[in-house]
Amino acid sequence: MKLYGALIAVAAISLAAGLAGSVGALQPLLGIGVPYCALAILLVGLSWRVIRWSRSPVPFRIPTVCGQQISLPWIKSSRLESPHSTLGVIGRMGLEVLLFRSLFRNTRSRIDQGPRLIYGEAKWLWLGAMAFHWSLLVVVLRHLRFVVEPVPAVALWLDGLDGFFHVGVPVLYVTDIVLIAALLYLLVRRLREPQVRFISLFTDYFALFLLLGIALSGIWMRYFARVDAVAVKQLALSLTVFSPSLPKNLSAWFFVHLGLVCTLAAYLPFSKLMHMGGIFLSPTRNLANNNRMKRHVNPWNYPVKVHTYEEWEDEFREKIEAAGLPVEKH
Amino acid sequence: MANPKPEELVQIQYPTPSKGWMDPAVEFRKGTYCYSALARNLNYLGLPNAREWQPFDADWKLPPDWKRIILDGMKERLEKFRSFRLFMDICVRCGACADKCHFYIGSGDPKNMPVVRAELVRSVYRRYFTLSGQLFGALAGARDLTEDVIKEWFYYAHQCTECRRCSVFCPYGIDTAEITMIVRELLNLIGCNINWVLEPAANCFRTGNHLGIQPHGFKDSVDFAVDELEELTGIRVDASINRKGAEVLLVVPSADYFGTPHYYTFLGYLALLHEVGLDYTFSAYASEGGNFGLFNSHEMIKRLNAKIYTEAKRLGVKWILGGECGHMWRVLHQYMDTMNGPADFLEVPVSPVTGTRFENARSTKMVHICEFTADLIHRGKIRLDPARNDRWNVTYHDSCNPARAMGLLEEPRYILRSVCNQFHEMPENTIREQTFCCGSGSGLGTDENFEMRMRGGLPRANAVKYVRDKHGVNLLTCICAIDKATLPPLLEYWVPGVDVAGIHELVGNALVMRGEKERTTDLRGEPIDQKEVAHA
Amino acid sequence: MAVLSRETILEYWLERVLRSYPGQGAKFLAGERDPFRNPAGSTMRQALGVLLDELSAGMDRERAAEALDSIVQIRAVQGLEPSQALEFIFQLKEILRPQLDGPERELVEGRIDELALLAFDFYMKYRERTYQARTNEARRRIFVMERRQGAGGAQEWQERGGI
């Protein structure tokens, strides 16, 4: 139900966008109105989410420490797994954000006869996640050539690198293949592993299908439908300078792609896909393990009812004195 | 039952849960829950909704406006804890945490996957605090807050030992312990708490320690240990209590002077601190380092922890030394300074024996005894005869909090290698930051919860079994009072033949004291030369 | 076992065993075949497989006992009534009855009975172990007090079976 529901939802969005895109009168709405709306929702939504997160304070310094602390000078501390300085924290976050350090730790466990636990390495999830996120980044950067003129060097360079194999016309991008493969892996994993399937929600499948839809429609446009790239660029450039003009010869396939991208942009702030922003704020990762070195201040620290020494001595005075222990008051 | 026909056998229908994990129904089976907190303990601590009830009752006697209380409580905490708000929002359900939880591995109950345990709360968060959850309901993973959900929260929040192992593996560092702590706080607001947490907390509030030992009883325990140590070593040590003007306040978990095998560790401290001539005192008012408030609410942590700084100030010590304890050190390392500091009336800890300045504790002014001892050994300030521990073939269990909250990994290992001759590590994925919990932490070490603890402790027990069979290990060392209380029954069930001890017990055994009589027995009173082999 | 394959019988048996699991555990434990991902379920699967093999073939008692022991050790701390915990052995009879006839059935059912008796021993062994462990745990908690009051030293306690 969750799975098919999500599939149907994404298919319906694609169909609606494609149909509307083939009706001339609806093209301005789809090519100009929807992208602006989606972008506005994305920007406002993103800021709203990030502001809401940052408005909740971090009352305690609670890093999850994954290495040796800094203590005695002759014990080597782990600067990245248990950072005690800002530099170390930046390093740890860098590893986390760029290389998915924690996911790399992944292990599998099973129990054998005995019962006895056995652990195996499980790097597939890490590999799939790396492949997906990095190729997505490259794909997004490659798209810069549509919205910036002159095309930035980084986009050209990535373009060349990505099409390194010079297979086919137009040149086949490696990241297209990797992106699709990684998404399929993540989907299959979600379906085939009982644990992951058990925890999966409609939204998990929806996000996957949405991304798959975007990738597939993009590939279809480039390699098979051969959409007029010049026209696309015209539209994109006109949008960026806020004087939108709609070229005539845009195909319905382009509108499918654009519709899905706009859906993703508008959906993103309300979804788990916000994890890309959240990771930077995660208090178990972005704080230094220097708790006893540097005092952390809790902005809402408030006085609490305690059992004072005086109250304690009053209650037990006779016993304390009988035991020969010193008291404040006799 | 009629015999199934062969063709029927092929079509196997498993009972399918209609709503997946969203169905909140739980069954409180004997051996899988902890008894509710007694009304007198709630009253003593001034906590709401004190009443007679048990988890297996149909009616939990919740206050009439319980739903409002919970939702208001959630709102307040979403605004006070970035961790909570963030962890409600950013999980992608990748499942990396799923098989990292000892309760899940040991029981197979899918709601014990950390992600699902958190989803139990997230679903309510989505329903009442997010637009998509309000609009799309179950489709967006939202569900209503019902009394059954409260029971489910209670059940699963007390099947998490707040060990933080899952957060090591989470790509966003989502910490189930943080979520469990908040859920327990929320449950606390409507009086759904367990006695094994609140009785120690109430005791600690009143007498200064979890066991409720009054000042004279504490004195007797310490004196008894001094007498016994004299019998064992021929040396009478001075262990003062509430003495003003001492240089150092020593705070240990109360089990150290009351339970076993903790007690032998306590003897170890006494011997060591005497040998190096540390000028220290105990406090009867702050006679507990452990903090069961951690298993109840942030406020309770602060209420119980306040005694340590108060007492350090009253006694006029320069700094504080802390004994072997797990959750105690989570609080001391990550909460104490923030909650009850700044400790500007103390000095940066300096070991008077070696002159080492503990820069890593310069703000909190509290040093872990393993740091203190490792420094002593490294500077060659004590004489050790590791052969006295030859009857032990040792492995080391990283207690969760010293490992994952502090990063205290090498100090205990350095000490162990200096005080015993046979040491073997357990498999890599079960030690250091990946260490497995004893299965009884965070107030779950109750007798009525025994079977659940055996399940939860299975992963740890298996790693021990591995080194027992492979290397003949017969002693599991650790630096946590709960470990020392609950690992012995765990091993007794799964891995007979392996004993449990604290690090400083072995230090006390190996320590060659000036003027000691010839040691024929170790601190347990057992002959030193006898070498035992693990019996499988 | 002419009609059904070993795998089918094992599957059916496993499903019957897992039915006693609380909540939604049953479907979950049974659904996953990869032993890496399903620790509790896979122990059952593996051990039941060994038992089935031994029952239908040579009946290596040592091997069967070892497999049985590992199942019972887990089930003895699963919050089950004794009858529920050991029910799984008898459930195999129902499953195998239509598969076998004559002397073969008698032989296998005899072996199952033999295993059942052995399972009682294991179950009691592990239950007794929990009681012992619980008692010892309770005494450890008040160790110092007991010792102070002279209620038997460590030596005596050890002689009585404590740690």
In a domain, A328, yes or no: no
Distance (Å) from the alpha carbon of A239 to chain B's nearest alpha carbon: 29
In a domain, A131, yes or no: yes
**Region A301-317 average pLDDT:** 95
As for the ipTM of the complex, it is 0.91
Q: Are A272 and B90 in contact (CB under 8 A)?
A: yes
**Structural domains of chain A, count:** 1
Does B275 score more than 90 pLDDT? yes
Say which residue, B340 or C95, is predicted with more confidence.
Answer: B340
Angle between helix A309-322 and B195-207 (nearest 10): 70
Query: What are the chain B neighbours of C99 within 8 Å (beta carbons)?
Result: 6
Q: What sign for the dihedral angle of Cα B86, B87, B91, B94?
A: positive
Highest mean pLDDT among B121-130, B524-533, C150-159: B121-130
Tokens at residue A117, please? 């636990």
Q: What is the pLDDT of residues B152-208, one digit of tens each?
A: 999 999 999 999 999 999 999 999 999 999 999 999 999 999 999 999 999 999 999
Residue A301 to residues A59, B70, B291, B315, B345, Cα–Cα distance (Å): 8, 22, 18, 25, 20
**Chain B neighbours among A 76-115 (CB < 8 Å)?**
76-78, 81-82, 84, 96, 100, 102-103, 105-109, 111, 114-115
DSSP class of residue B519 equals P
Does A228 score more than 90 pLDDT? no
The answer to whether A105 contacts B81, with C-beta atoms less than 8 Å apart, is: no
Work out the pLDDT band at C162, boundaries 50, 70, 90: very low
| Least confident window among A154-163, A312-321, B154-163, B349-358 | A154-163
Work out the pLDDT band at B532, boundaries 50, 70, 90: very low
Mean pLDDT over each residue of chain A, to the nearest integer:
90
Chain C CB within 8 Å of residue A308 CB: no
Q: Are B375 and B351 in contact (CB under 8 A)?
A: yes
- Least CA distance to A197: which residue of chain C? C28
Highest mean pLDDT among A304-308, B438-442, C11-15: A304-308
Work out the pLDDT band at A115, boundaries 50, 70, 90: low
What does the pLDDT read at residue A192?
Answer: 85
Q: What is the pLDDT of residues B16-32, one digit of tens each?
A: 344 578 888 888 887 78
> Among B29, B258, B455, whose Cβ lies nearest the Cβ of C144?
B258
DSSP annotation string for B201-248: HHHHHHHSSTT---HHHHHHHHHHHHHHHHHHHS-----EES-TT-SE
Q: Are B327 and B294 in contact (CB under 8 A)?
A: yes
Say which residue, A113 or A80, is predicted with more confidence.
Answer: A80
> Among A115, A195, A198, whose Cβ lies nearest the Cβ of C74?
A115
Q: What is the pLDDT of residues B332-353, one digit of tens each?
A: 999 999 999 899 999 999 999 9
Q: What percent of chain B has pLDDT over 90?
A: 80
Backbone φ and ψ for B249, nearest 5 degrees, come out as -95, 125
What does the pLDDT read at residue A120?
Answer: 61
Chain A CB within 8 Å of residue B363 CB: yes
| Least confident window among B313-327, B463-477, C18-32, C90-104 | C18-32
Q: Are B441 and B163 in contact (CB under 8 A)?
A: yes
Does C144 score more than 90 pLDDT? no
Domain that holds residue A299: 2-322
Does B536 score more than 60 pLDDT? no
Return the C-alpha torsion angle B50, B54, B58, B63, nearest 10. Answer: 10
What does the pLDDT read at residue B389?
Answer: 95
> Among B1, B25, B255, whose Cβ lies nearest the Cβ of C94?
B1
Query: What are the chain A neighbours of C43 within 8 Å (beta carbons)?
Result: 111-113, 115
Mean pLDDT over each residue of chain B, to the nearest integer:
91
Q: What percent of chain A has pLDDT over 70?
A: 95
**B344 burial type by CB count under 10 A (0-12 exposed, 13-18 middle, 19+ buried):** exposed
Work out the pLDDT band at C3, boundaries 50, 70, 90: low
The answer to whether B173 contacts A307, with C-beta atoms less than 8 Å apart, is: no
Residue B521 to residues A144, B103, B389, B514, Cα–Cα distance (Å): 77, 39, 10, 17
What does the pLDDT read at residue C28?
Answer: 53
What does the pLDDT read at residue B109?
Answer: 81
**B506 burial type by CB count under 10 A (0-12 exposed, 13-18 middle, 19+ buried):** buried
Q: How many whole angstroms separate alpha carbon A41 and alpha carbon A64?
A: 34
DSSP class of residue B137 equals G
Q: How many whole angstroms separate alpha carbon B228 and alpha carbon B411?
A: 28
Q: How many whole angstroms separate alpha carbon A46 and alpha carbon B440?
A: 41
What does the pLDDT read at residue B13?
Answer: 34
Residue B475 to residues A93, B69, B396, B505, Cα–Cα distance (Å): 38, 48, 8, 12
Does B139 score more than 80 pLDDT? yes
Interface test with B, best of A3, A69, A315 (most B CBs within 10 A): A69
Q: Per residue in B462-501, is it b (16+ CB within 10 Å) or e — as a string?
A: bbbbbbbeebbbbbbbbbbbbbbbbbbbbbbbbbebbbbb
Say which residue, B503 or A142, is predicted with more confidence.
Answer: B503
| Least confident window among B11-20, B281-290, B517-526 | B11-20
Say which residue, A313 or B26, is predicted with more confidence.
Answer: A313
Does B462 score more than 90 pLDDT? no
**E strands, B378-446, where?**
383-384, 394-396
**Region C18-23 average pLDDT:** 63
In a domain, A101, yes or no: yes
In a domain, C1, yes or no: no
Interface test with C, best of B101, B492, B495, B524 (most C CBs within 10 A): B492
How many beta carbons lie within 10 A of that of residue C65, not counting itself? 17
Work out the pLDDT band at A22, boundaries 50, 70, 90: confident
For C55, residues 6+ apart whose C-beta sits below 8 A from its C-beta are: C64, C92, C108, C111, C112, C115
What does the pLDDT read at residue B10?
Answer: 32
Interface test with C, best of B56, B101, B107, B228 (most C CBs within 10 A): B107
Angle between helix C6-18 and C82-96 (nearest 10): 150
DSSP class of residue B278 equals -
**B425 burial type by CB count under 10 A (0-12 exposed, 13-18 middle, 19+ buried):** middle
Tokens at residue B536, please? 């499988």
Q: Which of C95, C98, C128, C124 lies closest to C112 in space, CA to CA?
A: C95
**E strands, chain A, where?**
107-112, 116-121
Chain A CB within 8 Å of residue C30 CB: no
Domain that holds residue C56: 6-159
Query: What are the chain A neighbours of C66 within 8 Å (beta carbons)?
Result: 113
Chain A CB within 8 Å of residue B371 CB: yes
DSSP class of residue C8 equals H
**Region B59-80 average pLDDT:** 96
Chain B CB within 8 Å of residue A293 CB: yes
Q: How many whole angstroms separate alpha carbon B290 and alpha carbon B253?
A: 5
**Structural domains of chain C, count:** 1
Q: How many whole angstroms separate alpha carbon A316 and alpha carbon B214?
A: 8
Q: What sign for the dihedral angle of Cα B242, B246, B252, B257?
A: negative
Interface test with C, best of A106, A111, A116, A119 (most C CBs within 10 A): A111
Does C34 score more than 60 pLDDT? no
Residue carrying structure tokens 């998915």: A100
Q: What is the pLDDT of residues B466-520, one digit of tens each?
A: 899 889 999 999 999 999 999 999 999 999 999 999 999 999 999 999 999 999 9
What does the pLDDT read at residue B5?
Answer: 40
DSSP class of residue A114 equals T
**Chain B neighbours among C 125-154 (CB < 8 Å)?**
126, 129-130, 132-134, 136-138, 140-145, 147-148, 153-154
Q: What is the pLDDT of residues A32-74, one digit of tens each?
A: 999 999 999 999 999 999 999 999 999 999 999 999 999 999 9
Angle between helix A202-219 and A174-192 (nearest 10): 160
Chain C CB within 8 Å of residue A119 CB: no
What does the pLDDT read at residue A85?
Answer: 94
Angle between helix B410-419 and B503-510 (nearest 10): 30
Q: What is the pLDDT of residues B207-223, one digit of tens each?
A: 999 989 999 999 999 99
Q: Report the CATH number at residue A246.
A: 1.20.950.20
Does B290 score more than 70 pLDDT? yes
Angle between helix C102-141 and C82-96 (nearest 10): 160
Does A114 score more than 80 pLDDT? no
In a domain, A107, yes or no: yes
Backbone φ and ψ for A219, nearest 5 degrees, come out as -65, -40
Residue A91 to residues A60, A99, A127, C11, Cα–Cα distance (Å): 21, 11, 21, 50
Q: Are A292 and B366 in contact (CB under 8 A)?
A: yes
Return the C-alpha torsion angle B449, B455, B457, B461, nearest 10. Answer: 140
Q: How many whole angstroms separate alpha carbon B536 and alpha carbon B498?
A: 9
Q: How many whole angstroms separate alpha carbon C92 and alpha carbon C53?
A: 13
The answer to whether B302 contacts A304, with C-beta atoms less than 8 Å apart, is: yes
**Region A116-122 average pLDDT:** 62
What does the pLDDT read at residue B283?
Answer: 96
Q: Are strands A107-112 and A116-121 parallel, antiparallel or unpaired?
A: antiparallel
**Region C140-153 average pLDDT:** 74
Does B281 score more than 90 pLDDT? yes
Query: What are the chain B neighbours of C132 within 8 Å (beta carbons)?
Result: 492
Q: Are C2 and C99 in contact (CB under 8 A)?
A: yes
Domain boundaries, chain B: 20-193, 200-512
Highest mean pLDDT among A97-111, B192-206, C50-64: B192-206
Does A263 score more than 80 pLDDT? yes
What does the pLDDT read at residue B16?
Answer: 36
